[in-house]
């Protein structure tokens, strides 16, 4: 059986963290080795809420607090390094704000458990109309679709969505990724897709439900879109279009 961990990234999530953890299905809880919450220097009681939940988690819940805010990408990097150090086989990325459904986590795990993928992305766009029915604002829906289409055109891929934060990874694959060279910003999620594509890893998509509540969105949409397109264009120039642009040592494909 693979050793599975769940990385929960949290920022100002005191109102949602407990419910997110409670929604993890019992069969998942039974086989997961550890759930590790990384509180990114929240300004509320996120860390205290997490610590209070440890007593009822059968020793499977670990709570960490970053002394300074590492930002979205930096917090993920710390969590993945922890998963690597723990010697886990699979790590699932779950957000502490409740935007992604723990109830469908097995759908993300199955391709990894079966050994048919190194990365599984939850997609809100695979089921037609589901994103809008789930409350995704129209401007975000249109932006997501347009940006995804442009990235697919640059990369020669056919993903339904680049911009979901619900992911699961092979930890062995993560070991080959130069995490320290990636951004700490929001487009970390695009960069890590590109790193997996660069190495020829298998990426699967599975449908996930969409939920938009009253959580606060911290993403500045226009800089985020520009960064995602820039990274995709650079990847296309250096790897897909084979123009032999110079690569940094961290991004040279391994032999």
pLDDT score for 218: 62
Region 119-135: mean pLDDT is 95
DSSP string computed for 206-243: EE------SPPP---HHHHHHHHHHHHHHHIIIIIS--
CATH number at residue 230: 3.90.550.10
The total number of structural domains that make up the chain: 1
Average pLDDT across the chain, whole number: 92
pLDDT above 50 for 250? no
pLDDT above 70 for 248? no
Tokens coding 79: 């969590």
Region 173-201: mean pLDDT is 97
Most confident of 30-34, 55-59, 212-216: 30-34
Q: Residue 26 in 3-state DSSP?
A: helix
pLDDT score for 213: 67
Measured in whole angstroms, the distance separating CA 173 from the mean position of its chain's CA atoms is: 14
pLDDT score for 240: 82
Whether the pTM exceeds 0.85: the reply is: yes
- Any idea what DSSP says for residue 246? P
Tokens coding 165: 């934060």
Domain that holds residue 224: 4-251
Please name every residue paired with 167 in a beta bridge, in sequence order, or none if there are none.
Answer: 93, 121
Tally: H helices and E strands in the chain: 10, 7
- Any idea what DSSP says for residue 253? P
Contact 138, 132 (CB under 8 A): yes
Contact 20, 96 (CB under 8 A): yes
Q: What does DSSP say about strands 119-123 and 4-10: parallel, antiparallel, or unpaired?
A: unpaired
pLDDT above 80 for 249? no
């Amino acid at each position: 059986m693979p050793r599975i961990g769940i990385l929960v990234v949290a920022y100002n999530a005191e109102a949602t963290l407990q419910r997110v953890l409670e929604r993890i299905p019992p069969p998942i809880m039974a086989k997961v080795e550890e759930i590790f919450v990384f509180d990114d220097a929240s300004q509320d009681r996120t860390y205290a809420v997490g610590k209070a939940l440890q007593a009822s988690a059968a020793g499977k819940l670990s709570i960490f607090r970053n002394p300074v805010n590492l930002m979205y990408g930096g917090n993920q990097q710390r969590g993945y390094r922890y998963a690597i150090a723990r010697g886990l086989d699979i790590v699932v990325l779950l957000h502490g704000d409740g935007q992604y459904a723990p109830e469908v986590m097995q759908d993300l795990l199955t391709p990894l458990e079966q050994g048919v993928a190194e990365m599984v992305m939850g997609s809100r766009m695979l089921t037609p109309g589901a994103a809008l029915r789930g409350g995704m604002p129209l401007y975000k829906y249109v932006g997501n679709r347009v940006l995804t289409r442009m990235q697919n055109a640059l990369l020669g891929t056919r993903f339904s969505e680049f911009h979901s934060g619900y992911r699961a990874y092979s930890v062995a694959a993560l070991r080959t990724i130069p995490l320290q060279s990636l951004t700490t910003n929001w487009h970390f999620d695009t960069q890590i897709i590109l790193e997996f594509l660069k190495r020829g890893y298998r990426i699967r998509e599975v449908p996930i439900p969409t939920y938009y509540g009253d959580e606060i969105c911290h993403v500045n949409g226009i800089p985020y879109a520009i960064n995602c397109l820039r990274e995709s264009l650079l990847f296309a120039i250096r790897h897909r279009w084979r123009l032999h642009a110079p690569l940094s040592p961290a991004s040279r494909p391994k032999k």
